[in-house]
Structure 1
């Protein structure tokens, strides 16, 4: 008889390894929207309490991509209520086009970390490293499926960004931002051909850069506000 593999849930293995080395406040970080054609990139940072009942308290939390929208909303509220600290960093399209998406993602994570109280003393990240942050860091491939703290951060980032895109839909209803959240679906690309780009589209991203040849005009965008804190 063929056996089905049981879906693995995130654990506290990475967190406890750092705890045993003397770290008390371990922040998990993840992002949402890195591959989108429109909208900001958003990072979440979460410090969970490390106790005997942590796994029970946060049971069911997983990589945000593995959860339904309703489940993400439910866990978002639970994390906000029971985590030791939660931070969110939002970085605009102007910064993404000027600095590139990787640097914008790192900046979003730095902003999220600045909001945490207590201040973290170690970091767990999903396949990324923050060279400007002078803290012990562990970059984990598929970290949102392995670390409970990173999984919680992925939910915070995803729900925050989805809600921003739903608000953006009210301003630009023809693009369907409430459905695809800025990802490059066929419907989104078709809307781009029909209506052109908005100020919230990433002009440095393909196929927008090829379709409209607009990336050269990004020089006219004022990004001083977004970069002033760096």
Structure 2
């Protein structure tokens, strides 16, 4: 595939991912937020959510579901999204709260925190608050804003994909810091997921303060 063909493919993909937001703008909505989370499955660390409102003229190619992108690509897009977004918010819920209220409720809590921070940023910038939210496969009744759950939304909707990148890079950086604080579990590589090296670390030295005990009932 030539460079020109790759660019054309990226532009086609970009146009497809903007369709949902374009439809909502035509329906009268202005501040459309995409919300996604990362970290529901790991044995350790927090669940992190991000909410992002992109401008109508946002033109950064290459944004996609964070799981489809390399770490290098995510790191490159991360500051660009934050710079060009109208506003963004990040919510984080730690392992202790996850153990207390379960991962689903913790995920919803992190998403709510992200939306709240997003709206504070919009307000600080003198802008109206979010008037529509696109969640990736989730709905949160406690948030009294028109919303929609989009299955595989991080691969279909530009704002959700952007949020997935913000959440993923944020959490990966947190886990890299924890790797230095709690060595022996390979957190810098597995980001808290249940890899062979991670389980070996638990077997050798037990759990550490950021492990989710409710996820480790079979090994504790």
TM-score, length-scaled by structure 1:
0.85
Deviations 1:27-81 (A, max 9, x none): 0000011100000000011000013xx2xx2211010001111110110010011
| Aligned residue in 2 for 1:131 | 141
| Aligned residue in 1 for 2:107 | 105
Count of residues in correspondence between the two structures: 201
SS at match of 1:11: helix
Match for 1:175 among 175, 180, 185? 185
Q: CA separation in 2, counterparts of 1:69 and 1:100?
A: 29
Matched, 1:11 2:23: no
Q: CA separation in 1, counterparts of 2:204 and 2:151?
A: 39
More helix by proportion, 1 or 2?
2
**Structure 1 gap segments, 5+ residues each:** 1-5, 213-230
Q: CA separation in 1, counterparts of 2:75 and 2:219?
A: 35
Alignment of 1:1-230 (within 5 A): 8=13, 11-51=17-57, 54=58, 57-116=59-118, 117-118=121-122, 119-205=129-215, 208-212=216-220
Q: CA separation in 2, counterparts of 1:75 and 1:184?
A: 27
Give the CA deviation at 1:114.
1.0
176-185 or 11-20, which moves further after superposition?
Answer: 11-20
Q: For the aligned residues, what is the CA RMSD?
A: 1.3
Q: CA separation in 2, counterparts of 1:173 and 1:210?
A: 22
TM-score, length-scaled by structure 2:
0.88
22-31 or 113-122, which moves further after superposition?
Answer: 113-122
Q: CA separation in 1, counterparts of 2:79 and 2:170?
A: 11
Structure 1's consecutive aligned runs of 4 or more residues displaced over 2 angstroms after TM superposition are 6-10
